[in-house]
């Protein structure tokens, strides 16, 4: 096998397509027989299509580390802090195990912005990454320091969104 260079990839911005881009990468990696681990911060609902699809995919683990309700920005509930902490500890174990080719930390940027996780801890995860592991961090409000440290940053920019026409969240589109 050709030697692989793991990367740090960030999907941020206010438009739709960050989580699904990360999931697209997961599919691509699985197609190469790679092992993928995805942790979703701030999400706790089994209704997400990706949670259901994960059951059919080989070499793919998806774990949700959030509650199925809104987190108050700047004033998170103790339970939210506890689950986010579990998520970061799980991420640390998964990344440092070296067992996974692709590790996706979905909405981790939002968890930092909401004060659930210190920015420093996310930056430390990058330092833990084995050479060949690729790390994907998604969510609005990626910090300057994270973007500096990343190899690739894509900002998804909202031009328009169907929500503004009153179309509510659709299965297969939003979740
Ligand atoms: P997706 O999960 O579809 O890839 P995303 O990860 O880029 O989107 P998030 O910022 O995580 O989007 O938001 C979660 C969901 O909220 C998305 O599925 C999206 O359709 C919806 N959303 C995104 N932008 C808006 C908006 N401006 N107004 C209302 N809903 C939005
Ligand atoms: Mg998302």
| 146 in Cβ contact with 137 (< 8 Å) | yes
Does ligand 1 come within 6 angstroms of the Cβ of 162? no
- pLDDT tens-place string over residues 31-84: 999 999 999 999 999 999 999 999 999 999 999 999 988 888 888 999 999 999
For residue 132, pLDDT beyond 80: yes
* pTM, to two decimals: 0.95
Does ligand 1 come within 6 angstroms of the Cβ of 154? no
CA distance 4 to 45: 34
Q: CA triplet 37, 35, 173: central angle to 5 degrees?
A: 55
**Best mutation site among 13, 14, 16 for ligand 1, i.e. most ligand atoms within 8 A of its Cβ?**
16
Domains and CATH numbers, the chain: 8-156 (3.40.50.300)
Does ligand 1 come within 6 angstroms of the Cβ of 20? yes
Does ligand 1 come within 6 angstroms of the Cβ of 65? no
| Helix residue ranges, H only, 6-118 | 18-31, 49-53, 78-97, 108-113
pLDDT confidence tier of residue 1, bands split at 50, 70 and 90:
low
Shortest-distance Cα residue to atom 13 of ligand 1: 16
């Amino acid at each position: 096998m050709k030697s692989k260079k793991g990367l740090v990839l960030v999907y941020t911005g206010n438009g739709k397509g960050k989580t699904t881009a990360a999931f697209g990468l997961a599919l691509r990696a699985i197609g190469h027989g790679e092992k993928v681990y995805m942790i979703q911060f701030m999400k706790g609902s089994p209704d997400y299509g990706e949670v259901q699809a994960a059951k059919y995919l080989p070499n793919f683990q998806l774990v949700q580390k959030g509650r199925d309700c809104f987190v108050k920005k700047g004033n998170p509930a103790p339970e939210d802090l506890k689950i986010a902490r579990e998520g970061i500890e799980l991420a640390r174990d998964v990344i440092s195990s070296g067992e996974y080719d692709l590790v996706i930390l979905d909405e981790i940027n939002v968890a930092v912005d909401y004060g659930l996780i210190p920015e420093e801890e996310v930056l430390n995860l990058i330092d833990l990454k084995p050479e060949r592991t690729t790390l994907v961090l998604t969510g609005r409000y990626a910090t300057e320091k994270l973007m500096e440290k990343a190899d690739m940053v894509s900002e998804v920019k909202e031009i328009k969104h169907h929500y503004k026409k009153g179309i509510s969240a659709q299965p297969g589109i939003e979740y």
